[in-house]
Amino acid sequence: MSTTLAQVDAELSGYAPLPRLNGELVFDEVWHGRALGMGVVVLERLGQPWSAFRDHLAAAIERHGQPEGESAAEAYYVAFLDAIESLVAAQA
Amino acid sequence: MHDHDHDHDHHERPASQAELRARALEALLVERGLVSTDAIDAVVEYYENDVGPQNGARVIARAWVDPEYRARLLSDGSSAIAELGFGGVEGEHMVVVENTPDVHNVIVCTLCSCYPWPVLGLPPTWYKSYAYRARVVAEPRRVLGELGLDLEADVELRVWDSSAEVRYLVLPERPEGTDGLSEEELAALVTRDAMIGVARVESPSGAAA
């Protein structure tokens, strides 16, 4: 394990920053943290940098937006799943 | 520690569409050999338990063995923590509050879930449960008692409410029987819960200090 949470946070800040509430990182649901973990493992496995992922993530956030009734963290991690899918598809 | 989860609904309602999709994606990636469930478990556990509390534990152990560091930590937590290479990307203001035989500190965020994650990792799920946030302010002694921490009646209990501007970290009392331990050995004794203030640091023998 080489990627720390602070590194992930730093890599994504400014592009597709991890969701925060009142300045604090937010993981509303257990699966949000798991989605983040999935991204970390996929990138390490593919040997891809976070800079490759964040382009997919920023595009996914743009596409998905924040549907009514969905929290910011939920919307973000749904887009995070999209980004994992599109990164993997691009590598295939 | 799990008493808080009674009001937490994660395990009582059906999974959302998004959660089902996350599970499906994980299954697909496993099938394609890109991830293993164990590897994801390890990352999540690492973020929840390993990195953060270890960072905080090193800060606490240093303060126990180095009085000058302890003084700096209590007067300017952010700078002293940064000395050891830890800090958030947003440079939040860290305030360290010290437990003594007469004063016990506990931290909470009543507004949401503000938490010193660069030193403690991801917050435990109970930390942001309504039950903890509301009750630890209203009846902290009882909540701590339910968590297994019985404080003597004459110990002053201080509850610190974290915010975006200020994050608190508890400097627990150094347990008895640890005079001969190295800084590294001391750090291994320090738990996340002790740095939140819902537990004491146990003596190496296993008895509460």
Task: Classify residue B208: in a domain, yes or no.
Answer: no
Question: Does residue B120 have a pLDDT over 70?
Answer: yes
- pLDDT single digits (tens) A31-69: 888 999 999 999 999 999 999 999 999 999 999 988 888
Amino acid at A25: L
**What total number of domains does chain B contain?**
1
How many structural domains comprise chain A?
1
How far is the C-alpha of B197 from the C-alpha of B43, rounded, in Å? 26
Which residues span the domain enclosing B61? 15-196
Residue of A nearest to B48 (CA): A33
Taking alpha carbons only, the member of A82, A25, A31 closest to residue B40 is A31
Nearest alpha-carbon partner for A39 in A85, A72, A92, A1: A85
Domain range for A30 is 5-91
User: Among A11-15, A76-80, B46-50, B169-173, whose mean pLDDT is lowest?
Assistant: B46-50
Conformation bin of residue B33: beta by default, left when phi > 0, alpha when psi is -120 to 50: left
pLDDT at position B52? 59
pTM: 0.62
Contacts of B127 in chain A (CB under 8 A): none
Search chain B and give the residue with CA nearest A22.
Answer: B164
Which pLDDT tens digit goes with each residue over B1-28?
333 333 333 334 567 889 999 999 999 9
Neighbouring C-beta atoms of residue B85, cutoff 10 Å: 8
Residue B209 belongs to some domain of the structure: no
- Which residue of the set B36, B79, B112, B182 is catalytic? B112
Contact criterion met (CB < 8 Å) for A6 and B89:
yes
Distance from CA of B194 to the nearest CA of A (A): 21
What is the SS3 assignment for B159? strand
Q: CATH code at B91?
A: 3.90.330.10
